Amino acid sequence: MAAEKAQALVLRTTDWSETSRIATLWTREFGKVRALAKGGRRLKSNFENALDLLTHCRIVFLRKSSGSLDLLTEAQVVRRFPRLRSDLAALYAAYYVAELLESMTEEYDPHPLLFDAALELLDALGSPRVDEAPVVGPYVVRFELVLLREVGYSPALDGCASCGGPVDESRLAFSCAAGGLVCPNCVGQFRDRQSLSPAGRKMLRTLQQPAEDALRQPWEAGVRREVRQVLSQYVTYLLGRQPRLLPYLGS
């Protein structure tokens, strides 16, 4: 049994016994990990409330052989995001991120860039705001695009997702089944197609790039709504169900 150290975000905890909890953690080093926290329900445990939902913590755990739960031995808070307690839109967005991380990734499948993107989002949502820019929408979109790229479903926004050919710039059509834009030759095969405005495509493409200033651009409300709708449908399609938090997500 090797003792492993990791940075983690707490996605979920469930009671296991009178005194113990099972924590679902999303780690930078190992991806999703489920571990038993013995004594995790006692007020004064080794974990000192580090297992509160969406806390960024440092953990030590014993990795068990397949079939049995890993054992959490230490958890220390690195950061909490107190603003989430007072801003409902930010809280729902953070829960949505936790839900996507839990449902769209496998255990022991690490994606350090995705961990960083989740932390960047929580940092933006959970810190005192310096201006009234609508940070929730663009930050969530940035996170979703990193997630989709990491799990291999980055939406095709340049050429046709089906044949690779050029798309009709004046009548952009997006299909979840195809995995992005489709060209005039292929569009007939995809009945789930929906139109996408050039401004919507621009927002998606811009946020696919890692530049920080893309998040701060004054994206127009109608464009944000359109992008929200396209991504919501795409994520729902890939998951095979609507994410529970999706109806509460703003744009």
Q: What is the dihedral of CA 211, 217, 222, 225, to 10 degrees?
A: 40
Edge-to-edge strand ranges of the sheet holding 180-182: 180-182, 173-175, 194-195
Q: Minimum distance between the CB of residue 227 and Zn ion, rounded to whole angstroms?
A: 22
Tokens matching residue 3: 């003792």
Least distance from Zn ion to the Cβ atom of residue 176, Å: 15
**Closer to Zn ion at the Cβ: 162 or 251?**
162
Using the contact rule CB under 5 A, the part of the chain among 54-62, 114-122, 180-188, 243-251 near Zn ion is 180-188
Judged by CB under 5 A, the stretch of 43-51, 91-99, 155-163, 204-212 that binds Zn ion is: 155-163
Does 162 bind Zn ion (CB under 5 A)? Our answer is yes
Decide: is 160 part of the binding site for Zn ion (CB under 5 A).
Answer: yes
Size of the site for Zn ion (CB under 5 A): 6
**Do the bridges between strand 31-37 and strand 70-79 make them parallel or antiparallel, or are there none, so unpaired?**
parallel
Q: What is the CA radius of gyration of the chain?
A: 20
Minimum distance from residue 165 beta carbon to Zn ion (Å):
5
Residues 6+ apart with CB under 8 A from 130: none
Report the phi/psi class of residue 244: left, alpha or beta, with left for phi > 0 and alpha for psi in -120 to 50. alpha
Q: Is 183 in the site for Zn ion (CB under 5 A)?
A: yes
Q: Which of 88, 163, 211, 221 binds Zn ion (CB under 5 A)?
A: 163
Binding region for Zn ion (CB under 5 A): 160, 162-163, 165, 183, 186
